[in-house]
Amino acid sequence: MTGFHLGHQTQASRVMYINSADVKLHHENTTHLTYTFKEAVHTRADEGMLVSVLSASIPYSFYNIRSSVNDTVGLQFQGGSPISLTLPAGNYTAHSMATQLATEVTVANGGTPALSVVFDTKTLKFTFTAIAGVHLVITFGDGGDTDVSPSIEFGLRGTTAVNVGYPVTSTRAVDVNGSVHALYLRSNLPTLSVFDSRSGGVSDVLAKVPINTNPGGLIAFNPTNLHESLIYVNHVKSITLRLTDEQNRLLNLNGLHFQVGIQFKFVSLKRPDPESPLQLRTILAQPPQPLQPPGKPPVSKRQTQARRKRALKKGKAKVSNAIQKAEQATTKAK
C-alpha cells in the first residue's frame, strides 16, 4: 500500500457539498445517488488524495419498523392454517409496538381480542398472554440476514406457543431500534483503509454517523477527529453515495433529503508503489526498458569486468602508439 507524508500537504484542500435535493440521478430513493460535478478534483504528480466526511445533516425520518425489513410476524390459531401479520411501517415505542401487535392479532381473529402484549420497563421485556379460550403460536425469525420479522424488537426468536394460563416472556431484552443503531455513509471511492466485521474485509464505508436525536429531529454530524482515507485514483469528478444501516440495507428518508460535506486533502506520497493503482500513471510514463537480444544469455558480473579490462588495455595501447608516433614526427622535424 502506498504511504504518504501526513504533514506534507501540497495543494489546498477541496470540499464537495452535496445536497441530495440537487441530484437528478437517484437509483432507488433519496439515499442512493450519483452526482457529477462540472469540474474534477485532480492530483499533481506524486500526490495522493485523502477523503473524509466533514459534516452531514440527515433528517430522522426513517422508521424502526420498515417494510420488508422487520415487519412480518407468523401467527397460527389452534386448528387453523399459518398466516402472516404485517406491522405498518413507522416509528414505534415499546408500548405502541405491543399495542400494534395485539391489534393485528385481534383483526386476524375476526375482531375478537386474542392476545395481550405488555411491556415491562424494569426488565425491558414483553409478556405475551393468550386471552380466554384462545391458543396460538407466534413465529419470529432467527435474526439472520433473511429474517424479516421484528425478532430483535420483540426479544423473541423462533416459534413460541402462547396458551391460556401460560404467559410467555421475551427471552432477551427488547431493542425497538434494533434494525438501525447508526447510519453508514458509503461511497464508490476506492479506498483500502476501512474494514468492517460484516464483510470481514475492506469496506466502502466513509463514515459512521451516530443517531443523536429523536425521530422527527435532525441528525447533525460534525466530527472533531476526521478519519482520512487514501483514495486510489488521481481525480474525482463523479461520486456515488449510499446511506444505510449497519447491515448495509438502504435507508428510506420518506421523501426528505440529506446534505453531506466531503473533504479532499492532498498529500505528498512517500514513494511510488508499483502495486498501487494510484501509481499506474507513473509506470506507464516510464520509457520501455531494452530487451535482451533473443538467443543470447544474460551477461554475468564476471564477464562485464573482463570486458572492461580488455577495453582499458586497448585504450592504453592506443595512447602509447599515439605518443610514439608524436615522438617520431618530432625527431624527423629536427
Question: What string of DSSP letters covers 218-273?
Answer: EEEE--SS---EEESSSEEEEEEEEEE-TTSPBP--TT---EEEEEEEEEEESS--
Last residue of a domain, one of 169, 189, 221: 169
Do 157 and 101 share a structural domain?
A: yes
Domain with 185 in it: 4-61+180-283
- What's the whole-model pTM score? 0.76
Measured distance CA(104)–CA(65) in Å, rounded = 15
What pLDDT does 7 receive? 54
What pLDDT does 280 receive? 47
Q: Please work out, in degrees rounded to the nearest 5, the angle formed at the alpha carbon of residue 151 by the alpha carbons of 150 and 153.
A: 65
What pLDDT does 292 receive? 47
Do 161 and 78 share a structural domain?
A: yes
Do 155 and 76 share a structural domain?
A: yes
Do 265 and 232 share a structural domain?
A: yes
Do 279 and 186 share a structural domain?
A: yes
SS3 95: helix
What pLDDT does 282 receive? 47
What pLDDT does 281 receive? 47
What pLDDT does 65 receive? 97
Do 263 and 234 share a structural domain?
A: yes
Assigned domain for 297 exists: no
Assigned domain for 224 exists: yes
In the Cβ-directed half-sphere of 310, how many Cα atoms lie within 13 Å? 6
Domain count, the chain: 2
Buried b (16+ CB within 10 A) or exposed e, 78-102: eeeeeeebebebebbebeebbebbb
pLDDT along the chain (334 residues), means of 10: 55 91 84 91 85 96 96 94 96 97 96 96 97 92 90 95 93 95 94 86 92 96 90 88 94 96 87 52 47 52 71 68 64 57
Assigned domain for 92 exists: yes
Do 106 and 34 share a structural domain?
A: no
Domain CATH number, residue 99:
2.60.40
Measured distance CA(39)–CA(113) in Å, rounded = 63
